[in-house]
């Protein structure tokens, strides 16, 4: 069939298999250009199909030559409808990995469940024996507690008081004023339950009890801090409260299992998760322009290659005062932040494309779903039904 983008709010409900493959190949080339000498050889990525998790899987395989198991929650094609972007990304990733003789198996299901954890552990035991590195990169609106069966939903709201600022409708390219009412105590607690550190701890407990952690094992979960303009809805909001709990979990994992466990604070990038956060798309559009001008612009893959090579495996962690890895350092650079802050109040619908790089934001958003690549002929029909070769569940 011929597949076109169908955008609904901040998601695109279609995805193009060849466009997704094209983008995965671009990431592979970036990773191959930065080989890591003493990197991990067996890597589990939880949340491996899009965004930072996909880039982690690509980096592990193509910079470090690692075998990977990827866990994600994606929709296969059905009744002639295209699969989700993460499904097609994984089809392309696995084909490329296997073509180079790298082991790549995937598990499609709810990473919060005990069943998926058991299935991953069975695969590690049978195929690897031990695992060297676990990357925890889930972004989910919902979690079912595996112990009680109760469902929790996360939300993106301020805590304590309402927050008003400027927001960008990234679909229409229109700026408007937005006011977000504060979360209730229950909403804060539910967001911590979904996006906090408890599930990462459950993973580590299960892996440790199964005796599959290698001697030089490391685990990393991803976080974000960002500029003050987004703090009420991010750092000091429901999601930031959950991220503080991820930092607590890192300390608990270190103590409990005696392994290296880190939170890596990454930069703001366009992903399915970040496009849903109020205020952030406008900030990212301005940030892109300023970082491109300074020559420090990075996407997911550049961030993760830098994380693996310069912090985790070849360089020096350079932990901050809270014990976190900071690969958001170029984003938080004072010159960049003051340039963004100067532009922020001046942006209007009329000068949006001049003062920010909203064109790049939109291009990157479409590229998440395999659209807008110059090398692809989108008028040609394509096969939507594409199997993931190493799919276990």
Q: What is the nearest approach in angstroms of ligand NAD to the Cβ of residue 347?
A: 19
Cβ atoms 313, 40 nearer than 8 A: yes
Residue nearest to ligand NAD (CB): 51
- Nearer CB in complex with ligand NAD: 71/352: 71
Write the CB contacts of 293 (distance below 8 Å, at least 6 apart in sequence): 339
* Catalytic hit among 88, 152, 234, 257: 234
User: Phi and psi (nearest 5°) for 236?
Assistant: -95, 5
- Nearer CB in complex with ligand NAD: 34/230: 230
234 is a catalytic site residue: yes
Taking alpha carbons only, the member of 95, 94, 127, 129 closest to residue 108 is 94
| Total count of residues recorded for the chain | 393
Give residues in contact with ligand NAD (CB under 6 A): 47-53, 71-74, 86, 110-112, 137-140, 222-224, 266, 268-269, 271-274
Cβ atoms 285, 352 nearer than 8 A: yes
Please, what is the Cα angle at 184 between 182 and 185, to 5 degrees? Answer: 125
Q: Which two tokens stand for residue 131?
A: 């695992």
- Nearer CB in complex with ligand NAD: 150/354: 150
Spatial separation of the C-alpha atoms in residues 346 and 363, rounded to whole Å: 23
Longest dimension (CA), the chain: 59
Q: What is the nearest approach in angstroms of ligand NAD to the Cβ of residue 74?
A: 5
Q: What is the nearest approach in angstroms of ligand NAD to the Cβ of residue 61?
A: 16
- Nearer CB in complex with ligand NAD: 58/71: 71
Q: What is the nearest approach in angstroms of ligand NAD to the Cβ of residue 359?
A: 19
Q: What is the nearest approach in angstroms of ligand NAD to the Cβ of residue 64?
A: 19
Spatial separation of the C-alpha atoms in residues 70 and 392, rounded to whole Å: 10
Angstrom CA distances, 249 to 212, 246, 289, stand at: 20, 5, 35
Taking alpha carbons only, the member of 234, 151, 242 closest to residue 195 is 242
Catalytic center residues: 234
């Amino acid at each position: 069939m011929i597949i076109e983008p169908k955008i609904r709010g901040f998601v695109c409900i279609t995805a193009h298999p060849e466009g997704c493959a094209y983008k995965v190949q671009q990431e592979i080339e970036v990773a191959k250009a930065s080989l890591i000498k003493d990197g991990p050889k067996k890597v589990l990525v939880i949340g491996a199909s899009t965004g930072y998790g996909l880039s982690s899987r690509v980096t592990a395989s193509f910079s470090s030559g690692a075998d990977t198991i990827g866990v994600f929650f994606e929709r296969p094609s059905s009744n002639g409808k295209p699969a989700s972007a993460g499904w097609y990304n994984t089809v392309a990733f696995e084909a490329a990995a296997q073509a180079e003789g790298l082991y790549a198996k995937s598990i499609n299901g709810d990473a919060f469940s005990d069943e998926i954890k058991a299935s991953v552990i069975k695969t590690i035991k049978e195929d690897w024996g031990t695992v060297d590195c676990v990357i925890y990169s889930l972004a989910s609106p919902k979690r079912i507690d595996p112990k009680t069966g109760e469902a929790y939903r996360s939300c993106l709201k301020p805590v304590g008081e309402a927050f008003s600022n400027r927001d960008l409708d990234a679909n229409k390219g229109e700026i408007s004023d937005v006011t977000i009412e504060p979360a209730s105590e229950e909403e804060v607690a539910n967001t911590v339950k979904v996006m906090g550190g408890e599930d990462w701890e459950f993973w580590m407990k299960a892996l440790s009890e199964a005796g599959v952690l290698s001697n030089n094992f490391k685990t990393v979960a991803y976080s974000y801090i960002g500029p003050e303009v987004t703090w009420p809805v991010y750092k000091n909001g429901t999601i930031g409260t959950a991220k503080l709990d991820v930092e607590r979990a890192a300390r608990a994992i270190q103590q409990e299992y005696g392994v290296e466990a880190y939170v890596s604070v990454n930069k703001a990038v366009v992903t399915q998760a970040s496009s849903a956060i109020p205020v952030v798309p406008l900030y990212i559009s301005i940030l892109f322009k300023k970082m491109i001008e300074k020559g420090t612009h990075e996407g997911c893959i550049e961030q993760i290659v830098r994380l693996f090579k310069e912090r985790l495996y070849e360089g020096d962690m350079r932990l901050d005062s809270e014990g976190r890895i900071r690969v958001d350092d170029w984003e938080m650079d004072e010159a960049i932040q003051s340039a963004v802050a100067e532009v922020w109040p001046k942006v209007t619908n009329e000068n949006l494309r001049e003062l920010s790089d909203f064109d790049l934001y939109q291009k990157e958003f479409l590229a998440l779903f395999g659209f807008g690549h110059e090398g692809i002929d989108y008028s040609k029909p394509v096969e939507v039904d594409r199997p993931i070769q190493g799919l276990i569940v």
